[in-house]
Structure 1
Amino acid sequence: MATPPETTWASVHSAAELGAFLRHVRESRGLSQEELADELGIDRRYVYQIEAGTPTLYTRRLFGLLRLLDVRMEVHAR
């Protein structure tokens, strides 16, 4: 995978914000959802659901835990 020209940072507070960040990074690297899914060995629909921020039991619990503990999640792409 190609590296974007600059580092991209985001502070995420929800599955939707994380999905939007991941979509931005994927697109900046010129990858389609299908290409990314193939690299990961998963179905393209799963990539779509992640990028759409579709709530799952895991993400609800994860972001609930972060809120309760007053923990901030920052992500970056190199």
Structure 2
Amino acid sequence: MIASSATELGSMLREARRAKKMSQSELAAMVGVTRQWVISAEKGAPTARVDLMLDALRCVDLLIDVVRDDSADALGAVFGDGGG
């Protein structure tokens, strides 16, 4: 699975939580956050704290693997000028 946005990562979190038959409240309790935080994270809230998102992903047996994307398109999307 590859996520290139907060929305895609949140969707993966939701799918994995549901696959484990875990409620949002149960996940929230495991992570130490509110149910509203889980709802926001699953919707792809760009302000979700990375440490909490990592904890939530771990609770549903997901890990993040960061890989380099050297494509000019990726750099252009970040910098708006085609790479630098």
**TM-score normalised by L of structure 2:** 0.56
Asked if residue 45 in structure 1 is aligned to residue 44 in structure 2, the reply is no
Helix, strand or coil at the partner of 2:2: strand
The partner residue of 2:23 within 17, 26, 32 is 32
Structure 2: 5+ residue runs without aligned partners?
Answer: 51-65, 71-84
Aligned alpha-carbon RMSD (Å) = 2.4
The ranges of structure 1 where at least 4 consecutive aligned residues each deviate by more than 6 angstroms after the TM superposition are none
| Largest Rg, 1 or 2 | 2
Match of 1:6 in 2: none
Q: Which deviations, in whole Å up to 9, do the C-alpha atoms of 1:50-78 show, x marking residues without a partner?
A: 1000222867xxxxxx8xx636xxxxxxx
TM-superposed CA distance for 1:41, in Å, is: 1.4
Distance 2:12 2:47 in 1: 18
TM-superposed CA distance for 1:20, in Å, is: 0.2
Distance 1:57 1:41 in 2: 14
Letter in 2 for 1:46: W
Indicate the structure with greater strand content: 1
**TM-score normalised by L of structure 1:** 0.60
Match of 2:8 in 1: 17
Structure 1: 5+ residue runs without aligned partners?
Answer: 1-9, 60-65, 72-78
Q: Which has the higher contact order (CA 8 A, sep 6+)?
A: 1
* Identity, % of aligned positions: 39
